[in-house]
């Protein structure tokens, strides 16, 4: 039996309608921006394996550091014990974050990093004896798939089966010139009940790479601070260079109270989540009263292997050539965006740093809409490129090591698709 047959006997894949999905592509090896299938087919990983991979696959430096760590210490309970890799990662991460971030709380993935952030905020007010338990979030937000993270995400097809069980959240539109003052009054009116405001900074990834301006985010963050509403900056997707700066919050002057990381944190090598917070938040949990403890932890909290891959990824992230690559990709994207911006088959072309999104016209009926997505997905796969459109939005989000030649090849295939697909 081949890998696909064996897979189909025993595996249930994520976000996959198992009845109608195409058979999965069996990948047996990765190198740099490429993935290699069982039959030898080479693919360019233009979506960084679900946005996680930033330095390329099977990176030798990360592999070496992980191998060294495996021989030293694979895991240890993190309550009552600590280890050098977790300490060093916390030190080095805090050193590159806004200087108000003072403490690191480890978990397993982006969703758990968000769960921890939400619990920190709600218990912050609870510990201070205030009844502020409402959360503010953006329409169409995506913060993960566990229940708390789902609750602060926009209500959608993803959440429909669970909507009645999700806690109530106040949703607002993305800010712009015309609604910003209304949004601010809305926040002022609710401030006595609002525990926190959670947001994806600058880019709403899952919603379809929807982008908004840093200056309005800055205004909202400032307003929240003035009104006593904590801010949670979910950098799970945007962290580690995606938006052209190390973190998306580096595009704004305001500093968030809490930040969440995962995806690029380990270079896409291991599952790891991090929630960081200010001294003020941390201190609200210090007490002789045990009930004020943050009662949260996972078996694999601060797993040394995951922490070592994050440290190795950080080494590469801080090298000058990585910064140069981020700049190079951003410039290539911008030039290509200009070239195709007026194509009549495209409704919108938008870019933030290394993220380029092309929104296709969908025609009038929605069945065409969904088939367009599948047609485009298949088209690029056949051309040896992994692009996974979000509905009618095709986006390119490559590992930073991608070559100019591979970027040009992807752009040329997109131009060809613009000629051959759709009406």
Catalytic residues: 15, 142, 234, 263
Enumerate the β-bridge partners of residue 170: 136
Binding piece for ligand PLP, criterion CB under 6 A, among 200-208, 278-286, 336-344, 346-354: 200-208
Within 10 angstroms of residue 57's Cβ, the number of other Cβ atoms is: 23
Q: Per CB under 6 A, does 144 bind ligand PLP?
A: yes
Name the DSSP letter for residue 290. G
Enumerate the β-bridge partners of residue 172: 138
Question: What helix, strand, coil percent values describe the chain, rounded to 5?
Answer: 40, 20, 40
Contacts of 308 (CB under 8 A, 6+ apart): 65, 66, 68, 69, 85
Quick one: 113 or 284, whose CB is closer to ligand PLP? 113
**Shortest gap between Cβ of 364 and ligand PLP (angstroms)?**
31
**Shortest gap between Cβ of 357 and ligand PLP (angstroms)?**
14
Q: Which of 114, 207, 270, 393 binds ligand PLP (CB under 6 A)?
A: 114
Q: Which of 110, 148, 246, 422 binds ligand PLP (CB under 6 A)?
A: 110
Say how many CA atoms lie within 13 Å of 139 toward its Cβ. 6
Contact 199, 137 (CB under 8 A): yes
Quick one: 33 or 355, whose CB is closer to ligand PLP? 355
Q: Per CB under 6 A, does 143 bind ligand PLP?
A: yes
Binding mask 34-73 for ligand PLP (x = CB under 6 A): ----------------------------------------
- Main-chain dihedrals φ then ψ at residue 125, nearest 5 degrees: -75, -40
| Residues of this chain, 224-243, that bind ligand PLP according to CB under 6 A | 234, 236-237
Contact 30, 3 (CB under 8 A): no
Q: Strand, helix or coil at 321?
A: helix
Feature table: binding site for substrate: 50, 142, 263, 297, 388
**Shortest gap between Cβ of 207 and ligand PLP (angstroms)?**
10
Quick one: 114 or 386, whose CB is closer to ligand PLP? 114
Binding piece for ligand PLP, criterion CB under 6 A, among 56-64, 106-114, 132-140, 244-252: 106-114
Return the residue nearest ligand PLP (CB atom).
Answer: 110
Feature table: binding site: 50, 110-111, 142, 234, 263, 297-299, 388
For the chain, what's the residue count? 423
Report how far residue 330's alpha carbon sits from residue 322's, in angstroms, rounded to the nearest whole number. 12
Contacts of 312 (CB under 8 A, 6+ apart): 59, 61, 62, 64, 65, 66, 267, 269
Quick one: 111 or 325, whose CB is closer to ligand PLP? 111
Q: Which of 45, 115, 200, 257 binds ligand PLP (CB under 6 A)?
A: 200
Within 10 angstroms of residue 229's Cβ, the number of other Cβ atoms is: 26
Q: Which of 142, 212, 336, 400 binds ligand PLP (CB under 6 A)?
A: 142
**Shortest gap between Cβ of 412 and ligand PLP (angstroms)?**
29
Feature table: binding site for pyridoxal 5'-phosphate: 110-111, 234, 298-299
SS (H, E, C) 137-192: EECCCCCCCCHHHHHCCCCCCCCHHHHHHCCCCEEECCCCCCCHHHHHHHHHHHCC
Q: Per CB under 6 A, does 212 bind ligand PLP?
A: no
Site of interaction with ligand PLP (CB under 6 A): 109-111, 114, 142-144, 200, 205-206, 234, 236-237, 262
């Amino acid at each position: 039996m081949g890998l696909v047959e064996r897979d189909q006997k025993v595996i249930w894949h994520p976000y996959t309608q198992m009845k109608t999905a195409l058979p999965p592509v069996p990948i047996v090896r990765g190198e740099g921006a490429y993935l290699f299938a069982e039959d030898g087919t080479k693919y360019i990983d233009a979506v960084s394996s679900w946005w996680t991979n930033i330095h390329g696959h099977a990176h030798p430096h990360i592999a070496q550091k992980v191998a060294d760590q495996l021989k030293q210490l694979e895991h240890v309970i993190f309550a009552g014990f600590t280890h050098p890799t977790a300490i060093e990662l916390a030190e080095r991460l805090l050193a590159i974050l806004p200087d108000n971030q003072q403490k690191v709380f480890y978990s397993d993935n982006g969703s758990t990093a968000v769960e921890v952030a939400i619990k920190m905020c709600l218990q912050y007010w609870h510990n201070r004896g205030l009844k502020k338990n409402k959360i503010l979030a953006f329409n169409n937000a995506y913060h993960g798939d566990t229940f708390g993270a789902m609750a602060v995400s926009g209500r959608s097809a993803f959440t429909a089966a669970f909507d009645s069980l999700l806690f109530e959240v106040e949703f607002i539109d993305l800010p712009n010139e015309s609604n910003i003052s209304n949004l601010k009054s809305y926040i002022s009116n609710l401030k006595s009940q609002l525990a926190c405001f959670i947001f994806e900074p600058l880019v709403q990834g899952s919603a379809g790479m929807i982008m908004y301006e840093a200056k309005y985010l800055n205004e909202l963050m400032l307003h929240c601070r003035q009104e006593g509403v904590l801010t949670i900056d979910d950098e799970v997707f945007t962290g580690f260079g995606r938006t052209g700066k190390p973190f998306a919050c580096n595009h704004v002057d305001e500093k968030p109270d809490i930040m969440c990381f995962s995806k690029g944190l380990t270079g896409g090598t291991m599952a790891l989540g991090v929630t960081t917070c200010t001294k003020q938040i941390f201190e609200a949990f210090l007490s002789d009263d045990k009930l004020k403890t943050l009662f949260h932890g996972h078996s694999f909290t601060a797993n040394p292997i995951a922490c070592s891959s994050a440290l190795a990824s950080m080494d590469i992230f801080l090298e000058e050539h990585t910064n140069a690559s981020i700049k190079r990709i951003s410039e290539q994207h911008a030039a290509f965006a200009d070239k195709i911006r007026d194509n009549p088959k495209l409704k919108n072309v938008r870019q933030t740093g290394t993220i380029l999104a092309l929104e296709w016209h969908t025609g009038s009926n929605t069945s065409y809409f969904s088939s367009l997505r599948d047609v485009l997905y298949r088209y690029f796969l056949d051309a040896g490129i992994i692009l996974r459109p979000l509905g009618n939005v095709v986006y390119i989000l490559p590992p930073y090591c991608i070559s100019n030649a591979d970027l040009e090849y992807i752009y040329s295939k997109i131009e060809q698709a613009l000629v051959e697909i759709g009406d």
